Amino acid sequence: KSTVPVGTCERVRDAIRGRLDSRGVECDVSVASNPEFLKEGAAIGDFMKPDRIVIGVDNPAAERLLREIYAPFNRNHEKLLCMDVRSSELTKYAANTMLATKISLMNELSHVAARVGADIEQVRKGIGSDPRIGYSFIYPGPGYGGSCFPKDVRALEHTARAAGYRAELLQAVEAVNARQKKVPFELLSRHYVNELEGRKIAVWGLSFKPNTDDMREAPSIDLVEAALEAGAHVVGHDPQAATEARRRFAGHERFTTADDPYEAAAGADALVLVTEWKQYWAPDFDRLASEMRQAVVVDARNIWPPGVMRERGFTYYAIGRP
């Protein structure tokens, strides 16, 4: 199952038992917790080759059944982690919240780096080489989105509050993320001294991450809405999310999409890269510079080398870089 509030399995079990009792039926009932850890864009691979299998049970019979079910996926080495039901339910919240916290911390550090003249990308490499930290989820950017991280951070904070605890760190993770989503537009607006009315802004990447058309709470939404409110014309490109973007911004005459990234950038006063799709990593920079009206780039994923960009004549902005 996906993320559910702690105590859900017990409530389901009690509801089933209550109904059986009302019918006078005697039957042993167990409700187990089996949270999924599937990533959008890689769900099949994650299911077929899981790095861990978490189950929460309240009796040996349920554990034996789940071990039998998962035996084909647990052959190379022991991946199954068996625990009590409530711990299993909390594990899913805790995993997503931990990853979201790493992202928000790196984004917080990126603001410090920009103000003291450091390069957050060099800092990332320096701390990622520490095996206690690692390189996963320490990439600065425009904030996290999607269906899991925002929802689970809020839900866990609510769960803590309902249990009588004020989870200040969780509140900060969400607050930092909300602020970070405004950074790409702030960089853009700062360059044009808040004069964006009538300008064309190209946006590369509309989904909340590559390899999906999911735009739920995507950073691109904050950027597009702010640019439209400032009077700009926005042309977006995304390999999969263009249809969803047109639906989401239906009614905005100044928002359109293009089938080709260079078409989106043609005649643009600025290009903002929001989602790091592979096809954006090595574009024809000479073509890009020649086709844009003004060679202004906001790289919200720090995927392009600043030196190369400036050598090609771009005014280049990134996250947490001098």
Distance in angstroms (rounded) separating the CA atoms of residues 151 and 142:
17
Contact between 231 and 263 under an 8 Å Cβ cutoff? The reply is: no
Residue 86 tokens read as 């409530």
Q: φ, ψ for residue 35 (rounded to 5)?
A: -65, 145
Q: Beta partners for 318? A: 299
Q: Please spell the DSSP secondary structure of 134-179, one letter per residue.
A: -STT----S---SSSHHHHHHHHHHHHHHTT---HHHHHHHHHHHH
Residue 82 bears catalytic tag: no
Query: Given 9, 27, 82, 148, which residue is catalytic?
Result: 148
Residue 32 tokens read as 């187990």
Distance in angstroms (rounded) separating the CA atoms of residues 256 and 246:
7
Burial of 58 from C-beta contacts in 10 A (0-12 / 13-18 / 19+): middle
Query: Which residues are catalytic, by number?
Result: 148
